Amino acid sequence: MTENEKQKIVVFQQNGSGEKKIRAIREREQEKISLSVVSIDGALPPVIDNAAQYLPETIDADMVLDFLKHPDLSHDLALRCVEEKIPVVASGKKMEVKGVHTPPT
């Protein structure tokens, strides 16, 4: 399988919140998945009015995994993914954005 045939997954994490999942994907699925990680570290304000300053301008992915802890960032990421028709899985989140999968943890 070539790099072009791999599924492109982008993981968004905050202060290492997705490290266990990232490590497991890399260990078990490296031949099938091209994994990129966007880490948002450090203290954040309680309310984020403009998530664009924390999120990348474009998301090149077949699927996004959301392990962000800040609800404003997760919500804005979900809206962007829906707009760009990228499936997003936000496990354990209580967000109501149509097209976002929020399975229990």
- What is the pLDDT at residue 2? 53
CATH number for 83:
3.40.50
Q: State pLDDT tens for residues 64-101.
A: 999 999 999 999 999 999 999 999 998 777 777 777 77
Range of the domain at 18: 3-101
**Structural domains of the chain, count:** 1
Residue-wise burial string across 61-92, b where 16 or more C-beta atoms lie within 10 A, e elsewhere:
bebbbbbbebebbbbbbbbbbeeeebebbbee
pLDDT at 70: 93
**pTM of the full predicted structure?**
0.86
In the predicted model, is pLDDT for residue 32 greater than 70? yes
**pLDDT by residue (tens digit) across 40-64?**
999 999 999 999 999 999 999 999 9
Place of tokens 């045939």: 5
pLDDT for residue 5: 83
For 80, phi then psi, to 5°, come to: -65, -45
